[in-house]
Structure 1
Amino acid sequence: MTYVDSGPKIAGTPPAAGGAPSPRRPLPSADGAAPAGNEAARLWAALPRELAIRFKPRVNPLARAILREVQRAVPEYRRPLEGGFGRVITQGVRQSILQCLESVGKPAHAAAPAEAWAAVFRNLGKIEFQEGRSLDCLQTAYRVGGQVAWQHISDFARATGISADALCIGAEATFAYVNEISALSIEGYTAARDRAAGTRVRRRQRLLELLLSDPPPAPGAVAAQAVAAEWVLPAEVAVVALETRPGRAQDPGDLHPDVLTVLDGDRPCLVTGAPQRDLRDLGSLFPGRRAVVGPTVPTADAARSLQWAQRTLRLVQRGVLPDAQLTLCADHLSTLWLLADQFLIRELCAQSLEPFAGLTPKQRARLGETLLVWLQTRGGSAPEIGKRLKVHPQTVRYRMRQLVELFGDRLENPDDRLDLEIALRAEALLDS
């Protein structure tokens, strides 16, 4: 029997034309769907049972050949077949061969491989994830194993005079089986990956809670949780306070994976150890949602960075600070300091500006702005102050005479002048 194929040859490969099935079927990708049903079992069932009995003595030589070729083709598997790895891969190869033989000549009652068999290949996928490899190595191993199995089947067919039809069915069954066990390994790999991702998310949420605890926990507790969460503990962090939003917020995909996030609840925020890297495009990541970057602080003080970011956010929302989608605490330190304790600052305003108490609001406003400019210009001239206030110098002189009558020698005392400037600045912010 002569085969003609323009593609690369595998010894004994059946034709891809002339009605015979092609064994070169693509394996499903890591994101692809598993093949429906158990096509391999249906095909094996179409072969005579006696073929499985006659092939049985070839099981061990075939298993050794597959292992040898797999190790040659996949560098990651080139290690002694000892310990857990050796047991798993050897078991997988033997299970593959024996399951196929068990299916020969028997009705395919199940739509998928029996659970005991399936568990082996799901576990291989799980081990690949745990070893830190992609599925490429395992899928290459399955392809190589299928090719080696086909070579042995074709040798067996020539030696025993199996019909061409049976040989083609055997080829199709072999590579359908490779597809099915590959899909099972994808299933195991994906499940292990998803479990690990869920565990890591939970550990990072716990780490975030510890970092933002007030008072802070013991440094050892944070360090241990950082290790468990696979997060390199930085020397300093910055915390970003976000506006709350109804419903569940979506995590923006462009954030660096090392940014710790909590986007829901009553204090949504981000924590980063590399603010220059992670917060460069922050404004575009949360459209329509104000964000405030807190001070960069030692990691143990992360709760304080969040506290100041939240205070700043409230000032933005009240209109005390400019309304912007992204605000940096570092740009408003004097204002934050002035309003850090509103009780004390109101007491200072009441005490320092007590001479204004008998004035009308309009008089108070005019004299207050004139006094503030005079203090800011360090006793500037009437023309200079008038230019700042956009009033005539004579108006400034008139107001200054009133201020001298109200405050007297306090305008000459440096400490009193400082208190007056602080009070006037704070009052303007509080009334805004």
Structure 2
Amino acid sequence: MVEYRSFRLLAAVPRDFGVALRPHIASTVAAMIQEVRGTVPDYAQPLRGVFGKVLLGSVEYAVQHCVDSMGTPDQPHEHWVEFFRRRGRLEFTEGRNLDALQDSATIGARVAWRSMHPAVVQAGVDPDIVSITAEAIFAYVDELCATAIEGYQRAQAEAEGTVPVRRRRLLELIAKAPEGSARSIAELAGGAGWPLPETAAMVALERRPGAAEFPVDLLGDGVLAELDGPEPHLLSSDPDTDLAPLADRLDGWRAAVSPVVPLADAPAALRTARRALRLSTAAVPGPIIWCRDHLATLWLLAEDFLAAELARRSLDPFASLGEKQRERLSETLLVWLESRGSAPEIASQLGVHPHTVRNRLRQLENLFGDRLRDADDRLGIQLALRAQRLMQAQLHGDDESG
């Protein structure tokens, strides 16, 4: 247990000394955070989200409590102790060791003393009081770190031997890849006994109603798995080998496998795999969807609003036509753009008479004119028609599954 000698030392400091320091708290906190972010790699992140809130709140609370404790023997400390124990637990759950927290506390104490010292000198404080205050502040920092270590070690003891917990936390960290997380990922991988690969594929999973449990026993030790959340997924450094045993055993599950990418690109890879799962089986078939085989399709449907805007701009001549006529001409135009074949060749693909194709091509010439002779326009029209066909197939598949 920590003895908290610093609280007794701070209580011995004259109350007026703490009052004199209060106007300097905000500037001191700002200077501490700037120095910590500039010198401690794990904290060199933008001050936003949970990270920013925790770092800023911890520094503000530490400085405020230290100043409030000066000359206040009856100052309560229970909340402070619990706060920094939780702070230590957070370091463990974030996959960091305590080096970063201890380094930042030591650096922060040095910056705080340097920032407040001019006010001390200006106030003409007795040198003995200055000496006691300096001793109290540095003892305070040591005990803050010791309190955080208690929380860290308690969390570590609770998780000791629970490698699956660490592996799930590791997968979560990789899938989100927050800025500056590379070191945390490496440390957590070591603690989980998982060799960190340079590249990997993300596998998005979808469980259909009534499906059996996922055959997790078929996965090798190198696969990280999250199967309990609303969006189950896997990470595999060698998906062709790791997923081969699953080919005939998914039984109500679908899987989409991203391309193999550097680990830093895992979040984007997982988004791609999940997008593949959202496509209908008509557009991207199979219980295991290999995204590498459908890159053009996934790119075309990456953003629905972009596909819709491309269709609006490129296919506007169809706007005045009825639905049936638009479908027939769209089908013929896409085959012509993809094959540039003759009327008989196009007719053979469509299963209609060549005369019908010639009539449709004349209609298309009247509708699009010079745009069919411009390479950029032709590309835009072709992409819009393909995206339109894929979206229609997706809607049709959704209707059937519903």
Structure-2 residue corresponding to 1:231: 194
Alignment of 1:205 with 2:168, yes or no, is: yes
Quote the offset at 1:249 in angstroms: 4.4
Structure-2 residue corresponding to 1:242: 205
From the CA coordinates, give the structure whose radius of gyration is larger.
Answer: 1
Residue 382 of structure 2 aligns to which amino acid in structure 1? E
Secondary structure of 1:239's counterpart equals strand
Structure-2 residue corresponding to 1:270: 234
CA distance in 1, matches of 2:360, 2:280: 34
CA distance in 2, matches of 1:422, 1:431: 14
Q: Deviations 1:179-233 (Å, cap 9, x if unpaired)?
A: xxxxxxxxxxxxxxxx998421111111111111154542111111111111000
Quote the offset at 1:240 in angstroms: 0.9
RMSD: 2.1
Would the aligned equivalents of 2:201 and 2:237 in 1 still touch at CA under 8 Å?
Answer: yes
Quote the offset at 1:393 in angstroms: 1.3
Residue 181 of structure 2 aligns to which amino acid in structure 1? A
The aligned runs of 1:88-103 (5 Å cut-off) are none
Would the aligned equivalents of 1:259 and 1:271 in 2 still touch at CA under 8 Å?
Answer: yes
CA distance in 2, matches of 1:215, 1:355: 46
Structure-2 residue corresponding to 1:370: 332
Secondary structure of 1:284's counterpart equals coil
Secondary structure of 2:190's counterpart equals helix
Alignment of 1:399 with 2:360, yes or no, is: yes
Select 1:304's aligned residue among 268, 271, 278.
Answer: 268
Quote the offset at 1:355 in angstroms: 0.5
Structure-2 residue corresponding to 1:354: 316
Would the aligned equivalents of 1:238 and 1:295 in 2 still touch at CA under 8 Å?
Answer: yes
Residue 211 of structure 1 aligns to which amino acid in structure 2? I
Would the aligned equivalents of 2:177 and 2:266 in 1 still touch at CA under 8 Å?
Answer: no
Alignment of 1:258 with 2:222, yes or no, is: yes
Residue 422 of structure 1 aligns to which amino acid in structure 2? L
CA distance in 2, matches of 1:216, 1:249: 35
Quote the offset at 1:244 in angstroms: 3.8
Secondary structure of 2:203's counterpart equals strand
Structure-2 residue corresponding to 1:425: 386
Structure-2 residue corresponding to 1:330: 292
The aligned runs of 1:21-420 (5 Å cut-off) are 198-244=161-207, 249=213, 252-316=216-280, 319-322=282-285, 324-378=286-340, 380-420=341-381
Structure-2 residue corresponding to 1:69: none
CA distance in 1, matches of 2:197, 2:176: 17
Secondary structure of 1:407's counterpart equals helix
Residue-pair matches, total: 235
Quote the offset at 1:395 in angstroms: 1.2
Secondary structure of 1:212's counterpart equals helix
TM-score under structure 1 length normalisation = 0.52
Structure-2 residue corresponding to 1:74: none
CA distance in 1, matches of 2:350, 2:162: 62
Secondary structure of 1:234's counterpart equals coil
TM-score under structure 2 length normalisation = 0.55
Residue 368 of structure 1 aligns to which amino acid in structure 2? S
Residue 218 of structure 1 aligns to which amino acid in structure 2? S
Would the aligned equivalents of 2:371 and 2:378 in 1 still touch at CA under 8 Å?
Answer: yes
User: Equivalent pairs: percent with the same residue?
Assistant: 51
Change (3 A) 1:258 1:406: same
Would the aligned equivalents of 1:385 and 1:396 in 2 still touch at CA under 8 Å?
Answer: yes
Query: Between Structure 1 and Structure 2, which shows a larger proportion of helix residues?
Result: 2
